[in-house]
Structure 1
């Protein structure tokens, strides 16, 4: 899995993200401060978040300029949707 560093400004939230978990942002931000950014944000080739919205919000809260991302290439829209659903159910 290739992970690259991207400007936070180049990462965009998925506008139809159904999960509202703002209460978890402070905890995730604290974890990032203590342990570092250990899990990348997964984005599509256009930079739209597939999974990792809470990590994205935590990075914003911490004032980070760059974040680790994995660009998920070759997924169909149906696969992206299934990935989002599976990730939300397991989180």
Structure 2
């Protein structure tokens, strides 16, 4: 069941190509190692370019970390106390 979910997410990301790599890294629905491995596979088959994968992967990773930083910076302890059990 989990394998089917991961497969369906990866097929969806393949349709989005570069934007899918960025979204996959931003949302952390599945581990980033799987998204990056799949991006490497797409590069090896010639579906996408190496530098495009690097650029969109970097942008997605940075945006994900900025989001977490902003939560800590502007929400602080009240957000952690209120929603910490979900993290």
Instruction: Bin the TM-score by the shorter chain.
Output: 0.3 to 0.5
Using structure 2 for the length normalisation, give the TM-score.
Answer: 0.39
Bigger radius of gyration, 1 or 2?
2
Instruction: Point out the structure with the larger strand share.
Output: 1
Using structure 1 for the length normalisation, give the TM-score.
Answer: 0.38
